[in-house]
Amino acid sequence: MKKIAIIIVMLLIGFSAEAQNLDTFFKQADAFLNANVANGKVAYDAIKKDTKSLDEVLKTAESISVLKSDAKNYQAFWINAYNLSVIKGLINNYPTKSPLDDKGFFDKTKYSLGGKKITLNDIEHKLLRAEFKDPRFHFVLVCGAVGCPPLIAKAYLPITLETQLQNQTKLALNGNYFIKVNVKKKRVEGSKILEWYKEDFTMNGMTEIEYINTIRTEKIPADYKLSYFEYNWKINKQ
């Protein structure tokens, strides 16, 4: 019994330490984003001059372990880890005009996160999209370009994640930076994200426009034709 009690105590200590690490990560991420993001744009010049706070939060992220079954903590951690790593990748190559100027930015460069050596594409496609089948990830994962959804000046947190996911999706699908409706021509232009990840937006037999209308306040008529405008890969700097 004594051995069992010792094992239980050790497990509880481990869980407590992990929870503290995760809480520290969220606090550091929130402080960093609040200080360096405004109106969806990032203060790359200022971050380049002093990378301490960015390095600290990513250092905290290195050893964090969060289970997929702990869905809200898992999703919030990896969304923030992705967005912060994008900023780190751009800072490593700064000054730069676009994430695409660094060959392998998304699929070759690896970051030490969550006990893994992992690329940005791995986070997006393997850890998030493949596991949870939620199209709303496309409105919170920010690739460092103007064509991406805007980065918010706060961390995604497990307690607010559902609201944040829904709010960012509503902003995108009701705004004119992701969806452009031409009433006269009965056409709608969408971000290339809708084309690149069509399978995410057409689950359960829906069309892209039908999915958009589940979120959009002013519905798009079913007879409107959908096309896609070119993606703006210019860096999302202040």
Tens digits of per-residue pLDDT, 44-65?
Answer: 999 999 999 999 999 999 999 9
Q: What is the mean pLDDT of residues 196-220?
A: 96
Does 230 have pLDDT greater than 60?
Answer: yes
Express as a percent the part of the chain with pLDDT over 90: 90
Higher per-residue confidence, 10 vs 145? 145
The confidence score (pLDDT) of residue 189 equals 97
The confidence score (pLDDT) of residue 18 equals 65
pTM assigned to the model: 0.92
Mean pLDDT of the chain: 93
The confidence score (pLDDT) of residue 4 equals 59
Q: What is the mean pLDDT of residues 19-46?
A: 96
Does 24 have pLDDT greater than 80?
Answer: yes
- Rounded CA separation 17/23 (Å): 10
For residue 39, what are the β-bridge partners? none
Does 29 have pLDDT greater than 90?
Answer: yes
Weakest mean pLDDT among 10-19, 35-44, 121-130: 10-19
Express as a percent the part of the chain with pLDDT over 70: 92
The confidence score (pLDDT) of residue 9 equals 44
Does 17 have pLDDT greater than 90?
Answer: no
C-beta separation of 209 from 220 below 8 A:
yes
Residue 94: how many other CB atoms lie within 10 Å: 14
Does 218 have pLDDT greater than 90?
Answer: yes
Does 8 have pLDDT greater than 50?
Answer: no
**Cis omega before residue 158 (within 30°)?**
no
Which residue is it, tokens 């232009």?
Answer: 189
C-beta separation of 135 from 200 below 8 A:
yes
The confidence score (pLDDT) of residue 1 equals 59
Q: What is the mean pLDDT of residues 88-94?
A: 97
Does 95 have pLDDT greater than 70?
Answer: yes
The confidence score (pLDDT) of residue 224 equals 96
Of 76, 90, 237, 226, the residue nearest 159 (C-alpha): 76
